[in-house]
Chain A
Amino acid sequence: MPGWYYDKKELKNTPSAQDGIDYQTEMRYRKEGARFIIDTGIKMDLGYSTSATGVVYFHRFYMFHSFKQFPRYVTACCCLFLAGKVEETPKKCKDIIKTARGLLTDQKFNTFGDDPKEEVMTLERILLQTIKFDLQVEHPYAYLLKYAKCLKGDKVKLNKMVQMAWTFVNDSLCTTLALQWEPEIIAVALMYLAGKLSQFDVIDWTGRTAKHLRWWEMFVEDVTMDLLEDICHQVLDLYSQTPSQSNESPPQNQPRLNPPPSSSVARPSNGQNNPVSPDQPPPMHSSIPPPSDVPTYIYGTFTGAPPPVPGFPGFSAPPMSAPPVPPHMAAPPPGPPPNIAAPPPVFPFVNHPPPFAPPGVPPGANYYQPPNPPHRQFYPPP
């Protein structure tokens, strides 16, 4: 059985990399695709788990195909379309395409071809085969809430911390973390980060035993501080990307140089590295002028956002005395979500985590998202 986790070396040797797309660019494509899925999901009133599932499909898909072969916004729509059905929140294909059209520039929408619906439908079969019909995807959200229930301390501060961690989980979808670590570990790491930033020191927790030094040792084993910090930095790096970086023109749909040989594409994540076919020609994409479709599309809110903690020092250092907390997060949680569409959010999509025992998370059903969860606005309405 193949797994869905990859090490960093494997993440640098993707079909796109073999197709001549450099690492930074691929990460940007992944981020843009993920953001687009989330934005489309918000516009269509889909729940956070549908969008998150779609994003994970998207990341997995591009471990087997190149961004040059499959334009990212078509794939993104297809992933959201499938995730909608899997998460029992189906949306019509034509409605997804309509929403996508509203969010994309004409140039980007052109990648959908003459018959966008047909394009997405055909891709669905390819997507299903690529992700080996592994439809069920777990996300860190449920773990976040589960862990939070065990932590003791000031309720208001705890709430604030969970809210911040929830936002980090949202943002983590724009990284490849879901291809690297189990949702439990991501949840622990981002709670650790949120705890530091919101100055919530976990001193005691339910179920603590003498051998526990850290609260998360109750839930995950062998998680080192180095690993936690690596995960946190991957998320924090999103905020430090400068607008100019994100505004690079994405080359789209260049002719492929060579279809990736299946042997080098099929990369079981058992640690074996299949050598890249040596007879592959060198990448030539630098010679192709990038289309100039960029400036019209303001990339989410990452670009303008300052890093959440200016000059955030090395992680192992004790937390700074007073980390600036984004204004909307300082507002008394949880209550009815304040209208956060108005002020430019510092965190890209700040959403309000549910209270600790959300009715939408069925107890015991670790796999099932109820088809009609009580409607909860995790993403602010457009």
Chain B
Amino acid sequence: MQNNNARERTAYPQMMNNREKEKYIENYNFPYCDESAKYEKVAKIGQGTFGEVFKAKDRRNSQKFVAMKKVLMDNEKEGFPITALREIRILQLLKHENVVNLIEICRTKATQSNRYRSTFYLVFEFCEHDLAGLLSNVNVKFSLGEIKKVVQQLLNGLYYIHSNKILHRDMKAANVLITKNGVLKLADFGLARAFSTNKSGVPNRFTNRVVTLWYRPPELLLGERNYGPPVDLWGAGCIMAEMWTRSPIMQGNSEQQQLTLISQLCGSITPQVWPNVDTLELYRTMELPQQQKRKVKERLKPYMKDPYACDLLDKLLVLDPSKRADADTALNHDFFWTDPMPCDLGKMLASHTTSMFEFLAPPRRSTQMRHHSLPRPTTSTVQDGGYIDRVF
């Protein structure tokens, strides 16, 4: 190889030629960026906003599984996507029990066949389940104490990320992962971004085209661009209710319909309940049902029964974001501090040895469009660590 290099150099004495550079790239052993070949893909488990997600096995430790999220770069005119950079930066910042852990970023070897362009993968700790998958399985039954544990961990994760000035912006059951030991992890920070409390008086101009429709709070639907942590707490409320209803509580198929569903559940959107709502960009454009009474407790009581649960939900699904409970307030709610106390999910999950991902599950409601992954069959059935990837 050295001889080869020497020959090329003699041929091009002045400039380092492309072939030489390619060789250099191919042979350079990046000390901080391992090759993705150290993991063996076992199944496709999802389709994220910027790429596919695979379950993979560590070749040096067959007990260790990871989730690998491919960074799609094919249609990028501006190199490594800024969205992926954002996600990486945020994940590197966030280290918490209830936030998915980014282990490393791997690359494929640059070779002639990929035109010396590596593909990158974000490598995460593997979580056996996602909440949407668990909820869609009728055999998975949560006790009240277990539900409390799920919601508590969810709010813990949100409290942590909000303290670090990060908004998740894509709360939904499918983005809430649960390990086989019952530890909840917020995942998919592909839409997340940092925020600043704008003391400077200059309002933020964030995009309001975020959050899956069914979990999108009213302020985003009305065009607010200066939003904050309350957007995630609305989603947390929707997810909390879903723990009992087992399917998303407001399944609109358009922004207009979503607002109608919200009004029908949470009452009419008016400046009386929400001061200055009339200054929002789309307040006059959207049709807002009038004379709607707030029926959150009334509608959810048949499912939730527990009065504390109803009360907490009532404080999360508040129209006015400034009055919506924040994560800290919610965590102090009596719901978490009265019997039955939050209890571990590990035992209950141990009786389910099938990995449950929404991606792999049948649609919970076939009549409604899914805003994320469409269920699709997968061909591989893999036996690993006692977990079988469900195949439909």
Shortest C-beta distance, B34 to chain A (Å), equals: 10
- A149 contacts the other chain (Cβ, under 8 Å)? no
- A122 contacts the other chain (Cβ, under 8 Å)? yes
Which A343-382 residues sit within 8 Å CB-CB of chain B?
A: 359-360, 362-365, 367-368, 370, 372, 374
Shortest C-beta distance, B30 to chain A (Å), equals: 4
List, in ascending order, chain B residues with CB within 8 A of A55's CB: none
- B15 contacts the other chain (Cβ, under 8 Å)? yes
A217 to B117, CA, bound (A): 48
Knowing A363-B199, A368-B194 are in contact, say whether A126-B31 is a contact too (CB < 8 A): no
A120 to B32, CA, bound (A): 21
Q: Which of A5-13, A166-174, A255-263, A308-316 contacts B (4 or more CB under 8 A)?
A: A255-263
List, in ascending order, chain B residues with CB within 8 A of A364's CB: 165, 197
Q: Which of B77-85, B182-190, B284-292, B377-385 contacts A (4 or more CB under 8 A)?
A: B77-85
A114 to B2, CA, bound (A): 27
A90 nearest CB neighbor, chain B only: B82
A256 to B5, CA, bound (A): 9
Which of A2, A69, A128, A254 makes the CB contact (< 8 A) with B24?
A69
Q: Which of A130-138, A218-226, A293-301, A321-329 contacts B (4 or more CB under 8 A)?
A: A130-138
Knowing A86-B89, A121-B79 are in contact, say whether A362-B197 is a contact too (CB < 8 A): yes
Name the prevailing secondary structure of the A interface residues. Answer: loop
Shortest C-beta distance, B166 to chain A (Å), equals: 8
A362 to B31, CA, bound (A): 35
Which of A124, A360, A368 makes the CB contact (< 8 A) with B79?
A124
List, in ascending order, chain A residues with CB within 8 A of B16's CB: 68-69, 253, 255-256
A71 nearest CB neighbor, chain B only: B16
Knowing A86-B89, A129-B118 are in contact, say whether A370-B79 is a contact too (CB < 8 A): no
B1 nearest CB neighbor, chain A only: A259
B13 nearest CB neighbor, chain A only: A255
- A92 contacts the other chain (Cβ, under 8 Å)? yes
- B196 contacts the other chain (Cβ, under 8 Å)? yes
Which of B32, B110, B118, B197 makes the CB contact (< 8 A) with A132?
B32
B85 touches A86 (CB 8 A): yes
Interface residues on A, range: 35 or more
B85 touches A259 (CB 8 A): no
- B19 contacts the other chain (Cβ, under 8 Å)? no
A253 touches B14 (CB 8 A): yes
Which A81-131 residues sit within 8 Å CB-CB of chain B?
A: 81-82, 85-86, 90, 92-93, 113, 120-122, 124-126, 128-131
A256 touches B165 (CB 8 A): no
- B390 contacts the other chain (Cβ, under 8 Å)? no
A365 touches B29 (CB 8 A): no
List, in ascending order, chain A residues with CB within 8 A of B14's CB: 253-255
Shortest C-beta distance, A212 to chain B (Å), equals: 30
A120 to B78, CA, bound (A): 10
Mask: chain A, 277-291; 1 = CB below 8 Å from B; 0 = not? 000000000000000
B202 touches A359 (CB 8 A): yes
A256 to B20, CA, bound (A): 9
A130 touches B30 (CB 8 A): yes
B80 touches A135 (CB 8 A): no
- B200 contacts the other chain (Cβ, under 8 Å)? yes
- A236 contacts the other chain (Cβ, under 8 Å)? no
Knowing A133-B33, A136-B92, A363-B199 are in contact, say whether A85-B205 is a contact too (CB < 8 A): no
List, in ascending order, chain A residues with CB within 8 A of B205's CB: 372
Mask: chain B, 183-225; 1 = CB below 8 Å from A; 0 = not? 0000000000011110111100100000000000000000000
List, in ascending order, chain A residues with CB within 8 A of B116's CB: 122
Mask: chain B, 86-124; 1 = CB below 8 Å from A; 0 = not? 001100110000000000010100100000111010000
A241 to B165, CA, bound (A): 44
A300 to B85, CA, bound (A): 32
List, in ascending order, chain B residues with CB within 8 A of A92's CB: 78
A348 to B89, CA, bound (A): 32
Which of A85, A367, A368 makes the CB contact (< 8 A) with B80?
A85
List, in ascending order, chain A residues with CB within 8 A of B387's CB: none
A255 to B5, CA, bound (A): 10
Shortest C-beta distance, A140 to chain B (Å), equals: 20
- A64 contacts the other chain (Cβ, under 8 Å)? yes
Shortest C-beta distance, B203 to chain A (Å), equals: 10
List, in ascending order, chain B residues with CB within 8 A of A68's CB: 16
B9 touches A93 (CB 8 A): no
B91 nearest CB neighbor, chain A only: A133
- B25 contacts the other chain (Cβ, under 8 Å)? yes
Shortest C-beta distance, A47 to chain B (Å), equals: 15
Shortest C-beta distance, A19 to chain B (Å), equals: 12
Shortest C-beta distance, A281 to chain B (Å), equals: 11
A135 to B15, CA, bound (A): 31
B165 touches A93 (CB 8 A): no
Which of B13, B20, B29, B79 makes the CB contact (< 8 A) with A262?
B29
List, in ascending order, chain B residues with CB within 8 A of A259's CB: 5, 24, 27-28
- A27 contacts the other chain (Cβ, under 8 Å)? no
- A265 contacts the other chain (Cβ, under 8 Å)? yes
A135 to B87, CA, bound (A): 11
Knowing A122-B117, A132-B32, A368-B194 are in contact, say whether A374-B27 is a contact too (CB < 8 A): no
B82 touches A266 (CB 8 A): no
Knowing A2-B31, A262-B28, A265-B31 are in contact, say whether A93-B78 is a contact too (CB < 8 A): yes
- B12 contacts the other chain (Cβ, under 8 Å)? yes
B202 touches A136 (CB 8 A): no
B33 nearest CB neighbor, chain A only: A129
Which of B9, B85, B117, B197 makes the CB contact (< 8 A) with A255?
B9
A131 to B88, CA, bound (A): 13
B80 touches A129 (CB 8 A): no
List, in ascending order, chain B residues with CB within 8 A of A372's CB: 202, 205
A256 to B200, CA, bound (A): 52
List, in ascending order, chain B residues with CB within 8 A of A133's CB: 32-33, 88, 92, 105
A171 to B110, CA, bound (A): 37
B196 touches A370 (CB 8 A): yes
B33 touches A367 (CB 8 A): no
A255 to B33, CA, bound (A): 26
A92 to B82, CA, bound (A): 12
B200 touches A374 (CB 8 A): yes
Most B CB within 10 A of own CB, among A130, A360, A370: A370
Which of B12, B18, B31, B93 makes the CB contact (< 8 A) with A136?
B93
A227 to B118, CA, bound (A): 42
The 5 closest A-B pairs by CB, nearest first: A132-B32, A359-B200, A266-B31, A362-B196, A262-B29
10 contacts across the A-B interface (CB closer than 8 A) = A68-B16, A120-B79, A126-B25, A136-B89, A255-B20, A266-B29, A359-B202, A365-B165, A367-B194, A372-B202
Extra A-B contacts (8), CB below 8 Å, given A133-B92, A253-B14, A363-B197 = A121-B79, A125-B120, A128-B33, A131-B32, A255-B13, A359-B201, A367-B164, A368-B165
